[in-house]
Amino acid sequence: MATRSHSQAYRAAYALADQTPQASAAHPLGVPHVLWAGPASFLVILELISAGAGLAVLGLLAAFLFLGVAGLRLAASMLPAHTSARRTVLTHALPSVTVLVALHREASVVAGLVEQLARMDYPRDRMDVALAIEADDWETLRAAHAAAKANASRLPVRVMAVPPVGPRTKPKALNFALQRTTGELVAVYDAEDAPAPQQLRAAAEAFAADPALGCVQAPLGWYNRSENWLTRMFALEYAAQFHVLLPLFLRMGWPLPLGGTSNVFSRDALLVCGGWDAHNVTEDADLGFRLARHGWKTGMVTHGTLEEAPVTRRAWTHQRSRWLKGHAISWCVQMRQPGGLVSESGFGGLVSLQASLGMNVLSALAHGPAALFVIWMTASSLAAASLPWIVLPALAGYGAAILAAATGARRAGFKPLARDLAMLPAYWLLQTPAAIRGLREIGSQPYVWAKTEHGITAQHRMAPDEPYPHAHPDDCGAGPVRLQRVA
């Protein structure tokens, strides 16, 4: 049994890297020189010919890029939210579902997780749960076994100890558990999640309506969004992402950069794609594009999941630096063969990659210096009673981003405070040091997982069928807001 476990752990860690090297971050990262050397040489030569010309062209390109992203956000805010079609499936005909959860140092929240999963509205004879935990994480293993035993009559839960083979990452643990389960659909959740009870059934009905679906993404939100300024900003950010931008990508038929939880996959699609990349710390975003390159579509449903947002700047920075590091790694992996990306997923695949992962990293790096530059230029110009042209694209970009956040909040079921919307540019300044840290780690610690500690919030994990008790005083309506509106 030990030999079999280690063999499965080895495949979980290295199968993708061995069988499809160009699709894995395990191998040296690089982008074809023609994509950057040519434009860089042109700008340098232009600057040498005429001082300031290269910088002017670079400024124009940045302005067009900024306006393009602003236009995308504006369109996403104006168009109705789009979700996948569903076909009603009778209970006895629902496919089997395996729920995978990779846990590490989560002893304090595992009982609450199992309690939430036990509330899912899905036939128990077609649903099982696999908790994948590092073999030396004794505390979480004990807590998981206790939670499984306490809920044995309500939900079948298996606890799997993942051998210490390869990188100690979430995707490796998921790959390990995938080999030991058999569900036709595979759902992935995180330790702190509170999914809507109807989510799995909604995903199964989406798969029934479209056999080309390889994955269904549920929208994400935070049950502690009103705890402090940081969680309120995070809530606006997630609202824009999952209720505005991703529905537009879905409408356009573009690949979706998946969130790390509340994904429901077709097992066939996962196996065809090679599973998750064990060497990528944002395996979800990477897999969203790999699914598209293998001909699978990604859909969305309305029933969401609430999570616990980091409540301190230190925890937020740890999490964000990992995300940005992973987005940069995933971008480099997908851009190893940009021609292949276009031929396999269409031109929309290239646009989606640049507008999501590429812009996430670029904007995080540039926002701090750019904001200071715009402030300096504006102050200088006001003294001269004029406004520099470069400020206009910046204002358009900020306005579109704030509009997307406000629209997303409304669609998610809460009314944001006006002062929170106005503070979003200040919140975005936090991304620059996180991006610098994340990019620095690519060279020295590419697979190190900056762990987000859960169970810290003072607000309880919301049960999906309970009223939302922590709404802002000016939230929409006088009645309670339920998960289906919040997530």
pLDDT tens digits, residue range 118-152?
999 999 999 999 999 999 999 999 999 999 999 99
**Within a domain: 361:** yes
The per-residue pLDDT of the chain, averaged, comes to 88
Its domain, for residue 471, covers: 85-487
What is the domain-level CATH number for residue 410? 3.90.550.10
Has residue 137 been placed in a domain?
Answer: yes
The string of pLDDT tens digits covering residues 420-463 is: 999 999 999 999 999 999 999 998 888 777 767 766 776 767 64
Indicate whether 371 belongs to any domain: yes
- Run of H or E including 101: strand 97-103
pLDDT of the residue at 9: 95
| pLDDT given for residue 319 in this prediction | 94
Q: CA 408, CA 113: separation in Å to the nearest integer?
A: 27
Q: Is residue 16 part of a domain?
A: no
Q: Does residue 23 surpass a pLDDT of 90?
A: yes
309 found inside a domain? yes
Instruction: Collapse the DSSP code of 179 into the 3-class scheme (helix H, G, I; strand E, B; otherwise coil) and give the result.
Output: helix
d(CA 219, CA 243): 7
Determine contact, residues 193/308, Cβ cutoff 8 Å.
Answer: no
DSSP run (H or E) holding 263: strand 263-266
Count CB atoms within 10 A of the CB of residue 104. Answer: 17
Nearest-CA neighbor of 302 among 198, 188, 225?
198
Q: What is the pLDDT of residues 361-398, one digit of tens each?
A: 999 998 888 777 777 766 666 655 555 666 777 788 88
Domain contains 28:
no
Mean pLDDT calculated for residue range 291-313:
95
Residue 412 near residue 485, CB atoms below 8 Å: yes
How much is the pLDDT for 35?
Answer: 67
Residue 102 lies in a domain: yes
Of residues 451, 447, 413, 448, the one with CA closest to residue 109: 451
Asked if pLDDT for residue 283 goes beyond 60, the answer is: yes
pTM attached to this predicted model: 0.90
d(CA 116, CA 261): 14
Predicted confidence (pLDDT) at residue 483 exceeds the cutoff of 90: no
Angle at 215 between CA 350 and CA 348, to 5 degrees: 15
Residue 417 lies in a domain: yes
Domain count, the chain: 1
Cα distances (Å, whole numbers) of residue 474 to 352, 415, 471, 479, 480: 35, 7, 8, 11, 12
Tell me: pLDDT of 174 over 90.
Answer: yes
Band of pLDDT at residue 3, cut at 50, 70 and 90: confident
Round to whole Å and give the CA distance between 422 and 399: 10
